[in-house]
Structure 1
Amino acid sequence: MASATFVTSLEEEVNCPICQGSLREPVTIDCGHNFCRGCLTRYCEVPGPAPEELPACPLCKEPFRPGGFRPNWQLASVVENIQRHKARSGPAEEDACPQHGEKVYFFCEDDEAQLCVVCRAAAEHRAHTVRFLEEAAGPYREQIQKCLECLRKEREEIQEIQSRENQRIQVLQTQVATKRQRVISEFASLSRFLEGQHSVLLAQLERLDEDILKQRDEFDALVTGEMCRFSALITELEEKKERPAKELLTNIRSTLIRCETRKCRKPEAVSPELGQRIRDFPQQALPLQREMKMFLENLCFELDYEPARISLDPQTSHPKLLLSEDHRQARFSYKWQNSPDNPQRFDRATCVLAHGGFTGGRHTWVVSVDLAHGGSCLVGVVGEDVRRKGELRLRPEDGVWAVRLAWGFVSALGSFPVRLALQEPPRQVRVSLDYEVGWVTFVNAVTQEPIYTFTASFTQKVFPFFGLWGRGSSFSLCS
């Protein structure tokens, strides 16, 4: 292995600088550099810019006399020994010009063609920029290096996006798994409650049915008794009527009085108390109704965002914003308030933040907007380090994820504002923040029409964000 490496290194030392192949009939010129006799002869035949000038060495550019070639027999012997060693080791393939069979060692930059010495001397390449292969490859290597750097940078960006999106997918999968378990738990609890209510209500209905049957039997017995008594009187009167006058008139007044004073009782098949119990039975389902309502509220609460009880932070409010005493309403005013300057306060953008902020979780709040007198309103979230002093750029790159509501249109403030086509301008906007997933969603709180959704990667605390412009414009936080 060491011998082969030495031979390879020695072979590189005895290569012709022109053809890049092993020296053939090596000759030495005035500066001491060695070349193939044929390569140097053809090199001298290529006309230079000034025919009277001596040719320059291809390596050191020193002039030399074309007729001053000195054979280098010692170097020729070394080359012969190397070639003999290579012959024993196996033939090596060399790139050759397909047209002339000569070694390719030039590159024409005009035609982007690789040339041999014969090609280089051809008329079509004499006026072109022709360089040695290695010399010509240098600038292209630099360009390739720049391309590689750009591609590697873009690949890193794609990998970062892939990593971020994979994390977002994992968070969503965790949320879905949690919701699945919550749904299973809630419905299992509801199923147990429904089974209990099912048994209770059926038992109550069974008791009502039994009471109805009992009162029916009592009613039937009473009616049967009354029918028997009336039937006996009717039979008695029918017999009395058919008797002779003497017998008919015997005790006639007593008989008539007994018939006339006989009052017919009118029994009821169902007592008023039982009827009231039947009418009141739907009230027995009120606990079920309350439980179902509570179940749906709890289920929606578990599956939806957590309602955020937020209030405005007066330490961040621009002096042109008038805040209510409970810090849940704001109104724009051209009159500046006497507000002390502090690092948290906006001094140019008429904006205000909410207290607290969020570093995780899923939160939602509703904002009611009043633009009856014109103006516009901003609603959204901002990062903790959002610019408070000077001009505030309303775009995600500067930590602002918001929509602008104006009279007659709504815009999403992305890298470039986008005017949104909505069925109707929202007067109440629900803002929902999913910190881990990176979603900021806006929905018309009245019609539930989606407005816009931003996707971000939050790494710091974010705050609910509001802004107002124009006389009379205002907003309030809904409970």
Structure 2
Amino acid sequence: MAAAASVTSLADEVNCPICQGTLREPVTIDCGHNFCHGCLTRYCEIPGGDPEEPPTCPLCKEPFRPGDFRPNWQLASVVDNIERLKLVSLPDSAEEDICQEHGEKIYFFCENDEMQLCVVCREAKEHRAHTVRFLEDAARPYREQIQKCLSCLRKEREEIQWIQSRENQRIQVLLTQVATKRQKVVTEFAHLSQFLEEQKSILLAQLETLDGDILKQQEEFDFLVTGEIYRFSTLIAELEEKNEKPARELLTDIRSTLIRCESRKCRKPEAVSAELGQRIRDVPQHALPLQRKMKMFLEKICFELDYEPAHISLDPQTSHPKLLLSEDHQQARFSYKWQNSPENPQRFDRATCVLAHGGFTGGRHTWVVSVELAHGGSCTVGLVSEDVRRKGELRLRPEEGVWALRLAWGFASALGSFPTRLALEEHPRKVRVSLDYEVGWVAFTNAATHEPIYTFTAFFTGKVFPFFGLWGRGSSFSLSS
């Protein structure tokens, strides 16, 4: 390897300054610099400049006589020796720079044929009329194109890496949500299991008590019935015996005997008392707490598996001066009288709107807006991006970072790129707004009937805030989770 490096270093010392290749038929000019004879001849033939002026050395710019080239035989011998050493000591990869046809070094490039040429190839008939450049000159525009391609590819790679990072973050958020919901399911089912065991014990104890009371009443019934049967059997036996006697004996005390039998009232005992029967019929009522608990459990587990309740409050720093906020910032009422609100960049000055505190940068959240509208009033609920326009006219549409639903007197509209009037079975007075940041959903449902109203799809990249607008004297809204 050291020998190859030495040969390469020597070869660099005997390169032609014009073609950057190994000197071929080296000649020396007046200033002492050496060039290939062919390169210097072509250099002198290049048109331009004053034809009366002698050409100048490509290196030092000293003038020289075009016809006064002195062959440098000693340098030519050195070059030949170096070439032989290169063939012996340089690795096979160095042979790639040699023309396979002529054995000369390649240092030209034909742009017409896209071929690499040696000196002999360059002088061949088929390439004389072609555009031929030195390798580095020919490579320069291609290097520039490669740099442009590299710049575009690197930019696209960065975009893909950013998407990968963003999606990985979304996946981690979703995994965290799933883990949280898994824990909630385990906890809620554990509570339900404990409650069911308690209810099971209570119901079984009540049924056990009923079973004992039924058996007790059965014993009392059997005792009474047995006594009655015995007494009736005794009277029957007495009358049968009386009936078998002769007339004289039959008539003896016959009236008292008949009166005693006729006046005997049959008591008809009941096996199950009315009170016990009512208690048996009331058994399903004891399961009503279980029924209510199961309904609450199903509603709660379905809700918690869906969205996280958002405990939001209105931000007075963003509220339009015509909105009156409650002290707990959970309610707002429209007023034509302007409030004394200090001006700040966050406050809406044209649209009678207000935002919630905090905002969201991920997750699944839900909140409920209860709306009370006067005749001609309207309320807008939804979500906005952090950079939504606060000053001047606010266009309520997704392109402006607003995903909202407008409730007016008797109708509702989805405020898309073009407002869409919605056909609803029931005009909602309570609207549930649900956000899925990672998936990109803003869904509206009737909180009372659970009827879907409208769903926006979006791509969120920054913080978003719950958004509320109000218009009309006597119109108001309030928040709940």
* TM superposition score category, shorter chain reference: 0.7 to 0.9
Structure 2: 5+ residue stretches without partners = none
Aligned residues: 467
**What is the aligned partner in structure 1 of residue 451 from structure 2?**
447
**What is the aligned partner in structure 1 of residue 467 from structure 2?**
465
Amino acid at match of 1:86: K
Change in Cα spacing, 1:341 to 1:90, as seen in structure 2 (3 Å) is closer
8 Å CA contact 1:378–1:405 kept in 2: the answer is: yes
Amino acid at match of 1:79: V
8 Å CA contact 1:367–1:475 kept in 2: the answer is: no
Change in Cα spacing, 1:24 to 1:326, as seen in structure 2 (3 Å) is closer
Change in Cα spacing, 1:276 to 1:289, as seen in structure 2 (3 Å) is same
**What is the aligned partner in structure 2 of residue 342 from structure 1?**
343
Change in Cα spacing, 1:78 to 1:225, as seen in structure 2 (3 Å) is same
**What is the aligned partner in structure 2 of residue 379 from structure 1?**
382
Name which of 241, 248, 262 aligns with 1:246. 248
Q: Percent identity over the alignment?
A: 68
List per-residue Cα deviations over 1:152-173 (Å, max 9, x = no partner).
2222222222122222212221
8 Å CA contact 2:214–2:272 kept in 1: the answer is: yes
Give the alignment of 1:197-236 within 5 angstroms.
197-236=199-238
Matched, 1:14 2:14: yes
Deviation (angstroms), 1:442: 1.7
**What is the aligned partner in structure 1 of residue 179 from structure 2?**
177
Report which stretch shifted further, 106-115 or 268-277: 106-115
Deviation (angstroms), 1:278: 1.3
Report which stretch shifted further, 227-236 or 255-264: 227-236
Amino acid at match of 2:477: S
Deviation (angstroms), 1:302: 4.3
**What is the aligned partner in structure 1 of residue 191 from structure 2?**
189
Report which stretch shifted further, 138-147 or 306-315: 306-315
Report which stretch shifted further, 291-300 or 272-281: 291-300
CA distance in 2, matches of 1:126, 1:467: 80
Q: Secondary structure at the match of 1:352?
A: strand
8 Å CA contact 1:322–1:330 kept in 2: the answer is: yes
**What is the aligned partner in structure 2 of residue 26 from structure 1?**
26
Amino acid at match of 1:236: E
8 Å CA contact 1:438–1:457 kept in 2: the answer is: no
CA distance in 2, matches of 1:24, 1:295: 95
8 Å CA contact 1:28–1:71 kept in 2: the answer is: yes
Give the alignment of 1:355-370 within 5 angstroms.
355=357, 357=359, 363-367=365-369
CA distance in 2, matches of 1:443, 1:168: 23
Change in Cα spacing, 1:109 to 1:346, as seen in structure 2 (3 Å) is farther
Amino acid at match of 1:382: S
Change in Cα spacing, 1:200 to 1:332, as seen in structure 2 (3 Å) is closer
**What is the aligned partner in structure 2 of residue 72 from structure 1?**
72
Change in Cα spacing, 1:247 to 1:40, as seen in structure 2 (3 Å) is same
CA distance in 2, matches of 1:151, 1:418: 38
Amino acid at match of 1:138: R
CA distance in 2, matches of 1:3, 1:311: 81
8 Å CA contact 2:15–2:23 kept in 1: the answer is: yes
List per-residue Cα deviations over 1:32-61 (Å, max 9, x = no partner).
6533335555x47988699x8999789569
List per-residue Cα deviations over 1:205-249 (Å, max 9, x = no partner).
123123212222321232222122223323333443454443333
Change in Cα spacing, 1:49 to 1:211, as seen in structure 2 (3 Å) is same
8 Å CA contact 2:8–2:86 kept in 1: the answer is: no
CA distance in 1, matches of 2:38, 2:188: 94
Structure 1: 5+ residue stretches without partners = none
Deviation (angstroms), 1:263: 0.5
Deviation (angstroms), 1:404: 5.2
- The alignment's C-alpha RMSD in Å is 4.5
**What is the aligned partner in structure 2 of residue 130 from structure 1?**
132
Q: Secondary structure at the match of 1:136?
A: helix
Change in Cα spacing, 1:472 to 1:161, as seen in structure 2 (3 Å) is farther
CA distance in 1, matches of 2:382, 2:293: 36
8 Å CA contact 1:371–1:474 kept in 2: the answer is: yes
CA distance in 2, matches of 1:189, 1:331: 41
List per-residue Cα deviations over 1:111-130 (Å, max 9, x = no partner).
54444445545677566543
Give the alignment of 1:77-476 within 5 angstroms.
77-90=77-90, 92-96=94-98, 102-109=104-111, 112-117=114-119, 120-121=122-123, 129-296=131-298, 298-300=300-302, 302-319=304-321, 337=338, 340=341, 342-343=343-344, 344-355=346-357, 357=359, 363-367=365-369, 377=380, 379-383=382-386, 386-390=388-392, 400=401, 402-403=403-404, 405=406, 410-411=414-415, 417=417, 427=428, 429-433=431-435, 441-445=442-446, 446-448=450-452, 451-458=455-462, 462-467=464-469, 476=477
Change in Cα spacing, 1:224 to 1:89, as seen in structure 2 (3 Å) is same
Q: TM-score, normalised by structure 2?
A: 0.77
